[in-house]
Amino acid sequence: MSQEIISTPSPKGGRNLVLRLKAPLLIFFVALFLYFLAGRMDNFSVPGQLGPFFWPKAILIFLMISCGIKGLEIAFSPSPGPGSAASEISRPDVHYPRLIYLIALVLGVVLATQTIGFPLANFFFLWLFMFAAGMRQKLYLLTTSLIGTIILLYLFVKVVYLPLPRGYWFFEDLTLFFYRILRII
């Protein structure tokens, strides 16, 4: 797991403080919203007992208090303290285009697994993921994606009998076709 990095000093300013407080403020208001929502959902009062919504509401109150504690830590730290939002400035820079692409791929493979089936979705995912992360050798991409997908299918569908998604409509037939060619079913 990655470690927190000791942050470098940065000048204190009102605008900087607000920026550093944005994360705890956001969490605070979300917690407040959920608290009122819980109050509206709480139609199950039991006489003489605390009821089912006592605990979530108590936790939301503690969460808001925690945001307050975090806000005080940020406000009274002479420099962006460890754990503060501004400490990300001192963390290694993120390759944001690659991050967005990888996040889109992760979400995309979940959607694709549902719609076009696991074999096709996984093959394209492995290819595109490794390509996005910097791998450029096409033969390597093709063989790794293909062999990796086949091994996973044998392992989980044939050996473990896991009913991995086959997709819808035409893709379901295609998936079954692949399974028959590979002697998985």
Partner 1 sequence: MLGQLDYLWIGLINTFDPLNFSMITLGLIIGVFAGALPGITMLNAIVLVLPFTYLMGIVPALLLMIGIYCGGVFAGSITGILFNIPGDPMNIPTTWEGYQLNKKGFVSKALGMAIITAAIGGFLSALIMTIASPPFAKVALTFSSAEYFAVVFLGLSSVVVIGTRSIGSALISLFIGILLGTIGMDDIYGVPRFSFGSRILETGINFVVVLIGLFAIGEVLEQLTMKGKEVGKLARTRPKTQLPSFMELWGLRNTILRGLGVGVIVGAIPGAGATVASFVSYGVEKQVSKHPEKFGTGVWEGLVSSETAISGSTGGAMIPLLTLGIPGSGATAVMMGAFLLHGVQPGPLLFTKTPEAVYTIFVGMLVCNLIMILAGLFTARFFSELMRVPEIMLGAFIITFCLIGAFALRNDMADVWFMALFGILGFFMRRYALPIPPLILGIILGPMAESYFLTTMIGERNDWSIFFRRPVSGCLLIISVGLLVMPFFRNLRKKGKEIRT
Range 64-123, binding partner 1 (CB under 8 A): 66-67, 69-74, 81-85, 87-88, 91-96, 98-99, 102-103, 106-107, 109-110, 113-114, 122
What DSSP designation does 4 have? P
Per-residue tokens: 15: 């605008």
Q: Contact between 1 and partner 1 (CB under 8 A)?
A: yes
Structure tokens at 52: 């089912």
126 binds partner 1 (CB under 8 A): yes
Tell me which residues in 144-173 interact with partner 1 (CB under 8 A).
Answer: 144, 148, 152, 156, 160, 162-165
Q: Residue 152 carries which side chain, given as an amino acid letter? A: L
User: Is residue 178 at the binding interface for partner 1, with CB under 8 A as the rule?
Assistant: no
- Per CB under 8 A, which of residues 10..39 are in contact with partner 1? 23-24, 27, 34, 37-38
**By rule CB under 8 A, what count of residues binds partner 1?**
74
Candidate segments 9-17, 60-68, 167-175, 177-185, binder of partner 1 by CB under 8 A? 60-68
Identify which of residues 14 and 92 has a Cβ nearer to partner 1 in the complex: 92
Query: At its nearest, how many Å lie between partner 1 and the CB of residue 37?
Result: 8
Query: 142 near 131, Cβ under 8 Å?
Result: no
**Are the beta carbons of 111 and 29 closer than 8 angstroms?**
no
7 neighbors 89 (Cβ within 8 angstroms):
yes
Interaction between residue 142 and partner 1 (CB under 8 A): no
Q: Is 74 exposed, middle or buried (0-12, 13-18, 19+ CB in 10 A)?
A: buried
Q: Which of 58, 76, 71 is nearest to 27 (CA)?
A: 71
